């Protein structure tokens, strides 16, 4: 359930020129068109202060870990996330401490998602994700609020 809540509050997008400016000097710089994920509450805000409001997964294989990292780190500190969501995630984290999350199932769902909607690894390896524009099932990530949950059920 925590993964579902996270997916309802994270959107996928293709980086624009504005998105690349902040990361131009970083190792593994982001390119225009690279697929990223961001918090729907603060991800486009210039005032976002919580870490990991926007993440660019390094590969299809790391998408699940990136989503979980945002869930476990970002939403605890995001000042723009509705309190009900923060409380629900905190409650689930507390009750789930006795149960191990099924990482394999979620990782496989993310692999399947990328395969279905034409999200591919950028070259060189582990340098990011792109939308395979030649795939007839490619998802449109140009519009605002392309929630991960909507892509999962696409």
pLDDT tens for the chain, 154 residues: list them. 788 888 899 999 999 998 888 665 555 689 999 999 999 999 888 787 788 899 999 999 999 999 999 988 999 899 999 999 999 988 887 766 555 666 788 899 899 989 988 999 998 888 999 998 877 666 666 555 556 656 555 4
> Residue 6 corresponds to which tokens in the numbers above?
């996270």
In contact, 117 and 154? CB cutoff 8 Å: yes
Q: Is the dihedral of CA 56, 43, 15, 29 positive or negative?
A: negative
CA distance 77 to 61: 26
Rounded to 5 degrees, what angle do the CA atoms 102, 106, 109 make? 145
Indicate the pTM of the whole model.
0.82
CA atoms of 136 and 81, how far apart (whole Å): 35
């Amino acid at each position: 359930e925590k993964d579902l809540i996270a997916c309802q509050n994270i959107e996928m997008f293709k980086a624009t020129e504005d998105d690349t400016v902040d990361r131009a000097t970083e190792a593994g710089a982001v390119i225009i068109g690279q697929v990223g994920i961001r918090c729907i509450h603060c991800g486009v805000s210039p005032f976002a202060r919580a870490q990991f409001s926007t993440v660019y997964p390094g590969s299809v294989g790391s998408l699940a870990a990136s989503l979980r990292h945002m869930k476990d780190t970002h939403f605890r500190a995001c000042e723009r996330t509705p309190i009900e969501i923060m409380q629900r995630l905190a409650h689930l984290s507390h009750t789930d401490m006795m149960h191990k999350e099924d990482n394999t199932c979620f990782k496989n769902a993310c692999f399947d998602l990328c395969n279905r909607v034409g999200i591919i690894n950028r070259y060189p390896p582990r340098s990011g994700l792109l939308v395979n524009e030649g795939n007839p099932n490619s998802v449109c990530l140009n519009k605002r609020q392309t929630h991960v949950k909507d892509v999962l059920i696409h």
